Copies of this chain bind each other. A is one copy, B any other.
Amino acid sequence: MDFDQADAVNQAIRLLSLRHRARIAALLAPLGLHPGQEALLLELARTGPMIGAQLSEALGVEPPSVTLMARKLEAAGHIRRTPAPDDRRASIVELTESGKTLAEQVKQLWCALAEETVAGLPARTAAELPGLLNTLTGNVDTKRPRPPARP
């Protein structure tokens, strides 16, 4: 592949990252949220209470990122962290009532954002989009460089 083609791909991904994130920031600002925090809230809304390590895994970010985001969301009253009864290292993270209602609002604009994002695309292309993007993600995922050899 020549450089121009390669640059077109890489640059397109980079710009999409920047603009998509900026759009999220604009949509979340009225709710007092920053990009990244919505993922934490949505994960808790989807799966229910869980410990930090599970959150880290589910969000695809490192534990220190979870610690800091959780601290801010806790300070804002959207989540609660309580010691895990069976493991004194872990804390259970869960949504407060405020967090639950906030998560519902986030779901709303999550749908609006997705529709806005795929606007103008053929229905088939839009339907295949998540799978396509996940393929790209898998191709560059440093955690799974190559398919595991033996189970």
Interface residue ranges, A against B (CB under 8 Å): 1-3, 5-24, 26, 39, 42, 60-61, 107, 110-111, 113-121, 125-126, 129-130, 132-137, 139-142
Whether the Cβ atoms of A125 and B118 lie closer than 8 Å is: no
Whether the Cβ atoms of B19 and A141 lie closer than 8 Å is: yes
Q: Which residue of B lies closest to A39 (CB)?
A: B14
Given contacts A12-B133, A39-B14, contact A139 B119 (CB under 8 A): yes
Whether the Cβ atoms of A113 and B16 lie closer than 8 Å is: no
Task: Give chain B nearest CB distance to A135 CB in angstroms.
Answer: 7
Whether the Cβ atoms of B116 and A6 lie closer than 8 Å is: no
**A interface secondary structure, majority:** helix
Specify which of B9, B15, B21, B137 is in contact with A114 (CB 8 Å cutoff).
B9
A118 to B1, CA, bound (A): 11
Task: Give chain B nearest CB distance to A46 CB in angstroms.
Answer: 8
Whether the Cβ atoms of A21 and B17 lie closer than 8 Å is: yes
Whether the Cβ atoms of A137 and B16 lie closer than 8 Å is: yes
Task: Give chain B nearest CB distance to A40 CB in angstroms.
Answer: 12
Whether the Cβ atoms of A1 and B115 lie closer than 8 Å is: yes
Task: Give chain B nearest CB distance to A9 CB in angstroms.
Answer: 4
Whether the Cβ atoms of A3 and B107 lie closer than 8 Å is: yes
Given contacts A16-B13, A18-B61, contact A6 B110 (CB under 8 A): yes
Given contacts A7-B110, A110-B10, A130-B12, contact A26 B142 (CB under 8 A): yes
